[in-house]
Amino acid sequence: MEIWINPACSKCRAAIGVLDAEGAGYTVRRYLQDVPSQDEIRAVLERLGLEPWDITRTQEPAAKELGLADWPRDDTARDRWIAALAAHPRLIQRPIITADDGTALVARTEDAVREALSRGR
């Protein structure tokens, strides 16, 4: 499994703590430095079963600068949202865990982290 984190994020640190406590094997991706491509974002969205606006941190300064609140949330704007996430990775909700069964979760709670763990067992 892989976990996308921002080390400054308390939710990310908590998720890592749960993974470590459970002895889980995982790879850390510091997505602000190792920025996911648009294709990687599309793949994670497919695994999540979500749309790009569902994993966008709309209160970030970059979101306000881009005017994301006014962007359509439909298929016509999907690629535009994905491009924005790739260009401004701070907009990506965190942490995201890609589970061993091919799914993914936005793991902002301990329960979500444990759900990701159960999907790999």
Which positions are catalytic?
A: 9
SS3 4: strand
Q: Where are the beta strands (DSSP E) in the chain?
A: 2-5, 27-30, 96-98, 104-106
Q: How many whole angstroms from its chain centre is CA 49?
A: 12
Q: Around Cβ 63, how many Cβ atoms within 10 Å?
A: 18
Q: What is the DSSP letter of 109?
A: S
